[in-house]
Amino acid sequence: MNVKQLPPLFNFEAMEKTAVFSNGLTGQDILSVSQFDKDKLDYIFARAREMREMVERVGGTDLLKGHVLACLFYEPSTRTSSSFIAAMERLGGGVIPITQGVKFSSVSKGETLADTVRTLEQYADVIVLRHPEMGAAKLAADYASVPVINAGDGPGEHPTQALLDLFTIREELGRIDGLKIAMVGDLRYGRTVHSLTKLLLQYNVSLRFVSPEILRLPLNIMNQVIDAGINVRETHDVADVIENADVLYVTRVQKERFSDLSQYEEVKDHYEITPELMQKAKKKMIVMHPLPRVGEIHYSVDHDPRAAYFRQVRNGMFIRMALLAAVLGKA
Ligand code: CP
């Protein structure tokens, strides 16, 4: 992948040093989890821990002072957009927030994605893009001369979510190798599941996929799991996996991806994690969810210390702080 034009305030004398420190991420588009080997993951996780410590001690720093992030969201978002904005602001940078479903931007007048990113790069040093079409982030990156970070492209990938998910597992359970991880819900359209599954193939884990028949994991991803030699099983029933799971990763059925809404109605209430079900789970395990939830986890589970989904949300900010600093060459 080509390294892009460095941001204006980049210190060229320090370029080689920061390139090493940022582990090859400086100036890169972040489009897929396939860009992250274990070295890069360890690097981002170490930086995220530093960011967490810094935020908890002093709230913010001016590491990215003078840099600007354009947040371009063609689909709704609460967590991804807010955490990227918070990440940039806590690092002293500025934000162009086009996060109201682009209806107040010139996209509503028919401007193309290509022209929109070529406009935003005139103002910003990095663009975060969410788009309903798979491959849109790659298209934007082909046109932009500043790094583009994929914040979700349709049912494709959501790489920064997968980074924060993996980081959460590591921080909550102290390891990744040896864990039994069960993914529940919409495995067909759930891009967070696709990205996290691909990342987990680098580890010695067991995977359990729990979904209704029509929402099974896409075959191309299942084939990657099998080729990686992972211990894997599919089932329709959470009861088959709850007792042994170290991680229960629950997802929402993605109504917006269904062309036939009667199919959505058939499967939308298929799963609900309840306190009764949690009684069957290990004492030391975690329940995760990328959120938003629409009924998959009962609110009374929130009081269970194993409910990790709001800690997961907070980790997103630290991971995105680490990633922005790395992409902008500020180690
Ligand atoms: N997890 C996630 O992507 O949440 P948002 O859709 O709120 O950004």
* Alpha carbons 194 and 216: distance in angstroms, whole number: 11
Closest Cα to atom 1 of ligand 1 = 290
C-alpha 281 – ligand 1 centre gap (Å): 26
Based on the fold, state whether residues 55 and 129 are members of the same structural domain: yes
pLDDT at residue 25, rounded to an integer: 95
Among 72, 79, 189, say which to mutate for ligand 1: greatest number of ligand atoms within 8 Å of CB: 79
pLDDT at 5: 60
| Residue 109 falls inside a structural domain | yes
pLDDT of residue 314: 98
Report residue 88 as tokens: 């940039």
Task: Give me the pLDDT at residue 258, please.
Answer: 81
Residues identified as active-site: 79-80, 109, 130, 158
Is there a domain that residue 96 lies in? yes
DSSP at 297? B
Together in a domain, 321 and 306: no
Are 200 and 255 part of one and the same domain? yes
Query: What pLDDT was estimated at residue 10?
Result: 41
Within a domain: residue 11? no
pLDDT of residue 101: 67
Residue nearest to atom 6 of ligand 1 (CA): 77
Tell the residue nearest (CA) to atom 5 of ligand 1. Answer: 77
> Looking at ligand 1, which atom is closest to the CA of residue 76?
6
Q: Which pLDDT belongs to residue 1?
A: 57
- CATH number at 66 reads 3.40.50.1370
- Could you tell me the distance, in angstroms and rounded to a whole number, from the CA of residue 254 to the centre of ligand 1? 12
CA–centroid distance, residue 174 to ligand 1 (Å): 25
Q: List 9's β-bridge partners, or say none.
A: none
> For the chain, what is the domain count?
2
Are 24 and 68 found together in one domain?
A: yes
Q: What is the pLDDT of residue 170?
A: 98
pLDDT tens over the chain, length 331 residues: 567 665 444 443 444 434 445 579 999 999 999 999 999 999 999 999 999 999 999 999 999 999 999 999 999 999 999 999 999 999 999 999 998 767 777 787 889 999 999 999 999 999 999 999 999 999 999 999 999 999 999 988 999 999 999 999 999 999 999 999 999 999 999 899 999 999 999 999 999 999 999 999 999 999 999 999 999 999 999 999 999 999 999 999 978 878 888 888 888 888 999 999 999 999 999 999 999 999 999 999 999 999 999 999 999 999 999 999 999 999 7
The confidence score (pLDDT) of residue 26 equals 95
On whether both 151 and 195 belong to a single domain, the answer is no
CA 83 – ligand 1 centroid, Å: 10
CA distance 164 to 48: 9
Residues 140 and 175 occupy one common structural domain: no
| Residues 320, 200, 300: CA angle, nearest 5 degrees | 70
Distance (angstroms) between ligand 1 centre and the Cα of 151 equals 9
For atom 3 of ligand 1, which residue has the closest CA?
80
In a domain, residue 5? The reply is: no
| Best probe residue, ligand 1, of 72, 73, 74, 77 (max atoms within 8 Å of C-beta) | 77
Contact 192, 164 (CB under 8 A): no
Work out which ligand 1 atom sits closest to the CA atom of 151: 3
Assess if residue 210 is contained within a domain: yes
Answer whether residue 208 is part of any domain.
yes
* Residue 206, in any domain of the structure: yes
Domain with 192, as residue range(s), is 159-313
**Any residues with Cβ below 6 Å from ligand 1, and which?**
77-80, 152, 161, 290-292
In this structure, is residue 222 part of a structural domain? yes
Residues 127, 181, single domain; the answer is: no
Statement to judge: residues 259 and 143 lie in one domain: no
CA-158 nearest atom, ligand 1:
3
| pTM > 0.85: yes or no | yes
Q: Say if residue 168 is in the same domain as residue 305.
A: yes
Is the same domain home to 118 and 207? no
From 75, 80, 82, give the residue whose CB has the most ligand 1 atoms within 8 Å, as the site to mutate: 80
Same domain, 107 and 37: yes
3-state per-residue secondary structure call for 120-158: HCCCCCEEEEEECCCCHHHHHHHHCCCCEEEEEECCCCC
Q: How far is the CA of 79 from the centre of ligand 1 (A)?
A: 5
Shared-domain flag, residues 305 and 323: no
